[in-house]
Structure 1
Amino acid sequence: MTPATAEDEGPSGVHCRLDELLEARGMTLTRLSELVGVSVVNLSVLKNDRARAIRYSTLSAICRALDCEIGELLVRAD
């Protein structure tokens, strides 16, 4: 296990707008999970800005399911 660095702790500077997009589309996290094949737990980690990484394929699947662009899902949170 590698030691934690300052970069690993605290906010990443990226905010995930998953909650807003789901609400606007009348979709639940459970339904999105079914559509994209990602667990509700992993989507929740993303939704709550605790994710450290996301696969391009997952990002693409989420955007396809929500009919949005990546820039609508992920925004800078400076």
Structure 2
Amino acid sequence: MGYESWVERDAAMALDFEPAVVALASQPFRLVWPDGDREREHPPDCFARLADGTGAVVDVRPQDLVDEEATPRRSRASSSRT
């Protein structure tokens, strides 16, 4: 799996050792959305497919760049669990 920083590498390694993760993909897609007169875009760092069939989109940031108030801890696709 490709990575752009040591922080991303460490996150990928941690996900690789997580028993619930069955597959990982690096920058699997690009999110694009309108913002006034321009488009914004962002490729998430990775996507983890989980053993229960759900998935997790993962963005990795160094702790000093994380805004704890604005950043949700975890979000799961196709799941009502938190």
Give the TM-score, by structure 1 length: 0.27
**Structure with the greater relative contact order (CA < 8 A, sep ≥ 6): 1 or 2?**
1
The structure whose residues are more often helix, as a share, is 1
Q: Give the number of the structure whose alpha-carbon radius of gyration is greater.
A: 2
The structure whose residues are more often strand, as a share, is 2
Give the TM-score, by structure 2 length: 0.26
